[in-house]
């Protein structure tokens, strides 16, 4: 875990919003999972396009944001067909909260 990369990822309003939205995907992304067939269970995953629409930044920007957050460990993704679904990496975020509590 690279704390600095995590903090950098969190140092941006839009990225922080994305992380919060993904806590309650069904609330913030009503159309969520529209393309996800049932045999692929990826609970809470939201595709890039839906996130882009809500975040109101360009497609390339949201793509690189998501990539950055994933590299930092905050998100995980799965590609299905032409869509990439991102969701929070709750296990990592849990560890992070622990790290924060004990190390910061």
Residues at the contact surface with a second copy, assessed by CB under 8 A: 3-4, 7-8, 10-13, 16, 19-20, 93, 96-97, 100-101, 103-104
Say how many C-beta atoms besides its own lie within 10 A of residue 100's C-beta: 11
Q: Which has the closest alpha carbon to 85: 38, 39, 50, 56?
A: 50
Tell me if residue 76 falls in helix, strand or coil. strand
Q: What is the Cα–Cα distance from 70 to 59, expressed in whole angstroms?
A: 16
Which lies closer to a second copy via its Cβ, residue 64 or residue 94?
Answer: 94
User: Residues 38-77 vs DNA: string with x where CB under 7 A?
Assistant: ---------xxx--x----xxxxx-xx-xx---------x
Applying CB under 7 A, the residues found at the interface with DNA are 8, 11-12, 14, 47-49, 52, 57-61, 63-64, 66-67, 77, 79, 81-85
């Amino acid at each position: 875990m690279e704390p600095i990369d995590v903090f950098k990822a969190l140092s941006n309003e839009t990225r922080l919003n994305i992380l919060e939205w993904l806590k309650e995907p069904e609330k913030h992304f009503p159309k969520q999972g529209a393309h996800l067939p049932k045999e692929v269970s990826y609970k809470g995953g939201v595709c890039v396009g839906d996130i882009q629409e809500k975040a109101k930044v360009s497609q390339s920007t949201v793509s690189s944001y998501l990539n950055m957050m994933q590299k930092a460990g905050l998100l995980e993704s799965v590609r299905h067909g032409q869509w990439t679904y991102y969701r929070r990496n709750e296990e990592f975020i849990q560890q992070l909260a622990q790290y924060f509590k004990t190390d910061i």
